[in-house]
A = this chain, B = another copy of it.
C-alpha cells in the first residue's frame, strides 16, 4: 500500500490526539489521555518544542471508513545519556490496526532513527508493557534490548501530587 512518512504539522494535532486515544485503548488505559489537541499544538509546535512527531499518511483512496488519512505516528524527543551523549526517547509509536503489516511501522521507526543519527544521537530509548508481546517481538527483532530484563532497570515516576509535594520541600529550605 502506498503511504508516506512526514514530519507532523500543527494541523495534524487533532489526528495525533485521536491516535493517542486509540493507543491508550490498546494499552488498556482508555481514560489515560488528559490533555487536548490544543495542548499538543502549544507544546509541540511553538519555539523550543517539548516533542517532535512523524506521521504516516495514506492517499485519499485508502482512507479509513471514518475518513482518516493519518494512520500512524511516532512521537519522540531529544534526551541525554551521561555515558554516551545525545539520545532520543520515543514516547509513542502507533499504527492503526487495519494498516499493520504493510511496512508503515518500520518506516516510522526507521525514520526516527535516521533523524536521531542526523542529530548525532547514539541511543533510542522507549518503554514497553510486559504483556505486549507483538510489540516486544517487533523491537527485539530489530535489535533492541530489554534493559529491565537484562540489567534490572525499573521505570519510576513522581506523579502530579508527589511532584507538588517534592517541589514544596525546595521552597521551604
Contacts and interface: CB of A to CB of B under 8 A. Distances in A.
Contacts of A51: 79-80
Q: Size band of the A side of the interface?
A: 35 or more
A142 B164 CA distance: 11
Interface string A93-116: 000000000000011011101101
Copy total for this chain: 2
Given A34-B84, A111-B170, A114-B171, 10 more contacts: A20-B83, A24-B83, A43-B80, A43-B85, A77-B78, A113-B170, A125-B156, A129-B152, A142-B158, A147-B155
13 contacts: A20-B82, A39-B85, A50-B79, A113-B158, A116-B163, A116-B167, A122-B159, A124-B166, A127-B156, A128-B156, A130-B153, A147-B156, A147-B157
